Structure formats: C-alpha cells, structure tokens
C-alpha cells in the first residue's frame, strides 16, 4: 500500500490548504473563500418515560432564538442555524479570519402521537431538551341502540 505525504509550503498556501483538506477528507476551505453552511444531522437521544418522551439533541453554537420545533401527531421536526463571526475592532489588524456557519435539521417519527399541551422545551449549554407528553389513546365505546 502506498502512502502519499505532502510537505507543507511546497505549493503555496492556497494549494497546500486544498491538498490538506483532500488528504484529511474535509471540505475545501481557504483564506478568502466563502464558507458554505452545511446541513448537519443533530445528534439526539429519545427516551420513552411511560407517559411522555424525553428528547435531547446536541446543537453546538446555536442560539435559542435560532431553533424551530414543530410537532404534527407523532412527527417531530427540529431545525436550527449556528453562525459565529468575529468583529474587527478599531486599531486591530486582521491577518486571518474564518467564519463558521452550520444548519442542523432533524425530522423523526415517534412510536406514539404526542400533544403540544404541557410540552416543555429547554435549551442549555448547546443541548435542546424536549419533554413531549403522549396523546391519550382514543378509546372506542359501544353505542347503545334504543
């Protein structure tokens, strides 16, 4: 098996970054190139607690106001956007800057329908926690004929 190694600085900074990104299997990035937000599947855990579901989802770098949650029966959809930018203050000389932007999206179906009534959502330290009560099952009843 052959191994390929590239000496840093051999081809100039732009080409070196490109080769490094290719070797490490990461998306291309370089100074001056616009960062394109990628949609990432947020990591999550779903726990059945009997009368409710508890869902925890990692959303690093996201602000609370940038999260959207929708519930339709047993289907839950979560989307969020993270942006990190650096401000240059007067008197500073910026030599290199990178921006970070990512979009998170997750849509999944729970084993039972949930209700938005008494549902709770909490976001703390980059972790979204949803507590979704299960919808009471519809009980069929026999109709008496008079």
Domains of the chain, CATH where assigned: 35-88+95-133 (2.60.40.790)
Instruction: Convert the pLDDT of each residue in 3-58 to its tens digit.
Output: 444 444 444 444 444 445 445 444 444 444 444 456 677 889 999 999 999 999 99
**How far is Cα 57 from Cα 41, in angstroms, rounded to an integer?**
10
Q: List the beta bridge partners of residue 38.
A: 102
12: left (phi over 0), alpha (psi -120 to 50) or beta: left
CA–CA gap between residue 47 and residue 30 (Å, rounded): 41
**How far is 127 from 57, CA to CA, in rounded Å?**
6
Q: Which two tokens stand for residue 20?
A: 């490094």
Cα-based distances in Å from 126 to 22, 105, 121, 123: 30, 15, 13, 7
pLDDT of residue 26: 46
Q: Which residues contact 62 (CB under 8 A, 6 or more apart)?
A: 80, 81, 82, 104, 123, 126
Q: Which helix (H) or strand (E) holds 30?
A: none
Backbone angles phi, psi at 50, to 5 degrees: 85, -80
Enter the pTM of the model. 0.62
Residues 62-111: tens digit of each pLDDT: 999 999 999 999 999 999 988 877 677 777 777 777 777 788 888 999 99
Instruction: Name which of 33, 35, 84 is nearest 62 in CA terms.
Output: 84
Residue with tokens 């500073």: 92
Answer with the residue of higher pLDDT: 126 or 101.
126
Predicted pLDDT of residue 22: 47
Structure tokens at 18: 């490109």
């Amino acid at each position: 098996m052959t191994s390929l190694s590239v000496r840093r600085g051999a081809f100039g900074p732009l080409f070196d970054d490109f080769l490094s990104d290719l070797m490490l299997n990461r998306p291309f990035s370089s100074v001056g190139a616009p960062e394109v937000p990628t949609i990432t599947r947020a990591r999550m855990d779903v726990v059945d607690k009997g009368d409710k579901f508890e869902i925890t989802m990692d959303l690093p770098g996201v602000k609370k106001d940038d999260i959207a949650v929708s519930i339709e029966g047993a289907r839950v959809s979560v989307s969020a956007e993270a942006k990190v930018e650096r401000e240059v203050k007067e008197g500073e000389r910026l030599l290199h800057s990178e921006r970070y932007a990512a979009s998170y999206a997750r849509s999944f179906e729970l084993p039972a329908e949930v209700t938005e009534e008494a549902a709770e959502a909490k976001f703390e330290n980059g972790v979204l926690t949803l507590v979704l009560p299960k919808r009471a099952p519809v009980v069929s009843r026999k109709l008496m004929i008079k």
